[in-house]
Structure 1
Amino acid sequence: MKRNRKTCAISSSVAASLLAVAILAGAAIPAMAQQFSADLVANKDDTATAMGALRVSGGKARIETSALPDGFFLIDTGKPAAYFVRPAARAYMDARQSSPLTRMFIPVDPDDPCRQWLAMAQLSAPIDLATWHCQRDGAERIAGHDTDVFRIAAPSGLSFVGWIDRARRFPVRIKTADGTVIAADHIRDEPQPAQTFEIPAGLRKFDPQALIRRIQQSDVWVEPPASE
């Protein structure tokens, strides 16, 4: 039986279109914003301790810790910015040195994570670039996922090692200067509500330095004695 040439041509065109769509869809997957949640668990001296919870969407992260149960941290590497939010107090503030997690567990570019790590470190405190170094130190497979290992050398015990999951564009394990290993455990790839990474409406920004300046200008301030 002879096949209709016109039908064959249409079928070939449809097949080619479907193939093109499939290729484009496959190429778009890596560019999509990763979204997942995980538990943060610290291990030291064979003792595991639950630290809190982590949520990530694109260049934003939210960290909730058991050490500061009255609030949560919001990180935006695109700005960059890091805040500690206290909904019950109707206030938020710059995270600064509130938690080292905001300098380590952040969304990164797998090809150049040092840039984001440095930016977040500078938000916390002034950085002497002569004493801060970051470089790749090989690769390692963790829990079935390929990771790139980076070593960050910094003063004052702020050095750490980070294992970056390239697919999630995020460090899934951090080893601090004192040997503590903090891991993103039980990772769940799932959509994250956009409002999870936003400061709730109506909150005011609290500036501790501004409060100190107001106190210093008031009658209750007593200048400390000069050291001998």
Structure 2
Amino acid sequence: MTRDEKTCNGRRRAAACLFAAAILAAAPMPATAQQFSADLVARKDDTATVMGTLRVSGGRARIETTALPDGFFLLDAARPAAYFVRPAARVYMNAMQSSPLTQLFVPVDPDDPCRQWLAMAQLSAPVDLATWRCQHDGQEAIAGRNTEIYRIAGPSGLSFTGWIDRARSFPVQIKTGDGTVISADHIRDEPQPAQSFEIPAGLRKFDPQALIRRIQQSDVWVEPPASQ
């Protein structure tokens, strides 16, 4: 029973209260005022690797990775949306499977992060709900901050464990299925420029599928031979 349902005392108000609880459960995660930046560091077998940097403002996040230095990712957990922006090329595109970080380090509701994690995973590829499991697994202090632990089991390498900083409504540590631990290190609580979470003006959206269709319709396309 949720806290909303626990306040529903009396038969006369039961139906109205349950209706309100259903609306709250389906509503997007409210944006918080929390703003911070951090470094993303991966550790495995006593080896630490800097993966990039992270900026967060309310329900939005920006991730810059060393693997893709010519752009950055913009995430909006409320919509949900995930884009890869390449300012020099003047384009942006759906992130899809460009980086697993876009499915892991996203603003979440500490009491129900499963909803946001599932929504972000579905932006990359359809998720069979029959194979998706997400459950609370206790609490733990990480770098002096209280965190909620959630374990996610899913198909195609989607299994991971997340430690959510309740005060920041954000996962500060992720352990992937292969044992790699990715942490938000050196967290700096500081105001973030609003423009850091916006697609720069004048950029066009690039659609890889549209490009493939154009190539297929051109004279240079050669139809692959039918399988024997």
- For this structure pair, what is the TM-score category when the shorter chain's length is used for normalisation? 0.7 to 0.9
Alignment CA distance shift 1:131-1:32 (3 Å) = closer
Higher Cα Rg, which structure: 1
Equivalent residue for 2:200? 200
* Distance (whole Å) between structure 1 residues aligned to residue 32 and residue 222 of structure 2: 56
Which letter does structure 1 place at the counterpart of 2:39?
D
Equivalent residue for 1:226? 226
* Distance (whole Å) between structure 1 residues aligned to residue 48 and residue 157 of structure 2: 22
How many positions carry a matched residue from both structures?
A: 198
Which letter does structure 1 place at the counterpart of 2:184?
A
Residues 118-164 of structure 1, C-alpha deviations (whole Å, 9 max, x = no match): 00001010110001111111111110001000011011112110000
Q: Secondary structure of the residue that 1:96 maps to in structure 2?
A: coil
**Matches for 1:24-43 after TM superposition, within 5 Å:** 32-43=32-43
* Distance (whole Å) between structure 1 residues aligned to residue 188 and residue 145 of structure 2: 14
Equivalent residue for 1:85? 85
Which letter does structure 2 place at the counterpart of 1:39?
D
Which letter does structure 2 place at the counterpart of 1:67?
A
* Distance (whole Å) between structure 1 residues aligned to residue 108 and residue 198 of structure 2: 19
Alignment CA distance shift 1:97-1:32 (3 Å) = closer
Gaps of 5+ in 2: 1-30
* Distance (whole Å) between structure 2 residues aligned to residue 210 and residue 157 of structure 1: 28
* Distance (whole Å) between structure 2 residues aligned to residue 221 and residue 62 of structure 1: 38
Which letter does structure 2 place at the counterpart of 1:150?
Y
Q: State the Cα RMSD in Å.
A: 0.9
Residues 3-53 of structure 1, C-alpha deviations (whole Å, 9 max, x = no match): xxxxxxxxxxxxxxxxxxxxxxxxxxxx84110000000001110000000
Q: Secondary structure of the residue that 2:123 maps to in structure 1?
A: helix
Alignment CA distance shift 1:34-1:99 (3 Å) = same
**Matches for 1:35-54 after TM superposition, within 5 Å:** 35-54=35-54
Contact 2:60 2:77 in 1 (8 A): yes
Q: Secondary structure of the residue that 1:89 maps to in structure 2?
A: coil
Length-normalised TM-score, structure 1 = 0.86
Which letter does structure 2 place at the counterpart of 1:90?
R
Gaps of 5+ in 1: 1-30
Equivalent residue for 2:157? 157
Length-normalised TM-score, structure 2 = 0.86
* Distance (whole Å) between structure 2 residues aligned to residue 227 and residue 62 of structure 1: 44
Identity %, equivalent residues: 83
